[in-house]
Amino acid sequence: MTQAEHAASRARWLKLCAGVLAVLALIAAYWVLRETGVLGTIVDEQRLREWIEDLGAWGPFGVVVLMTLAILVSPIPSAPIAMAAGAAYGHGWGTLYVLIGAEAGALAAFGLARMLGGAPLSRWFGKRLPGLSGSQNVLMGIVFASRLLPFVSFDLISYAAGLTVLSAWRFALATLAGIVPASFVLVHLGFEMISGETDRFIYTALALGLITGLPIVAALVRERMRRRHGPRD
């Protein structure tokens, strides 16, 4: 084995070790959250808001960490965290903390996939892991659109994108652009819940449904038109 081959092999080994350590850290973090009761608190928006406020100056850091873990670990829901952030910090700061956490989580999943490779992720997620392919622009479009659809797994897309040729900065840009609308509406929804104004709460919920539903409607319309007119030469 030449010196270059030895260096490349050592780099791959270190990369794999780093990925395994990251996975173990995620498992440990999930266990701690479950054993300390924080995981149960997350699904209760009011209790979660009180927990965040009890952290004082560390509250924003808590929101960012929870959002990051929610993206990396599927069983942790992200919507209650965003709503609690809105209730605790309002529209502006709440949205900022949620965006930082979601973006950090997406980039961490993307980088973890790059370190581990496809085989470990396939054993981990099985058939749930989508196969993404295409040019840089096509992949950016897929990532952006997936962030607007509530039924598409945020973490699975992040992991799957890490196995493609998509560059990290393009992935980060597409993710950020896609999560801004829904993040703001969820934060606003949490803020309105504590205001006690039912009408505004309902309008916000409808706006969230509209934002997430428009891409679905557009896709259905395009598919129907394609079938009606048939393939073009």
Tell me what the mean pLDDT of segment 21-42 comes to.
Answer: 68
| Nearest CA among 103, 88, 207 for reference residue 80 | 88
Tally of structural domains, the chain:
1
Contact between 144 and 174 (Cβ < 8 Å) = yes
**pLDDT (0 to 100) of residue 144:** 92
Q: What digits encode the pLDDT tens for the residues 63-83?
A: 999 999 888 887 778 888 888
Tell me the whole-structure pTM to 2 decimals. Answer: 0.75
Distance from CA of residue 151 to its chain's centroid?
A: 12
pLDDT at 182 over 60: yes
| HEC sequence for the chain | CCHHHHHHHHHHHHHHHHHHHHHHHHHHHHHHHHHCCHHHHHCCHHHHHHHHHHCHHHHHHHHHHHHHHHHHCCCCCCHHHHHHHHHHHHHHHHHHHHHHHHHHHHHHHHHHHHHHCHHHHHHHHHHHCCCCCCCHHHHHHHHHHHHHCCCCCHHHHHHHHCCCCCCHHHHHHHHHHHHHHHHHHHHHHHHHHCCCCHHHHHHHHHHHHHHHHHHHHHHHHHHHHHHHHCCCC
- The overall average pLDDT reported for the chain is 77
Q: What digits encode the pLDDT tens for the residues 92-115?
A: 999 999 999 999 999 999 998 888
pLDDT at 24 over 80: no
**Residues of the domain holding 156:** 3-229
| Nearest CA among 204, 175, 206, 181 for reference residue 87 | 204
Q: How confident is the model at residue 198 (pLDDT cuts 50, 70, 90)?
A: very low
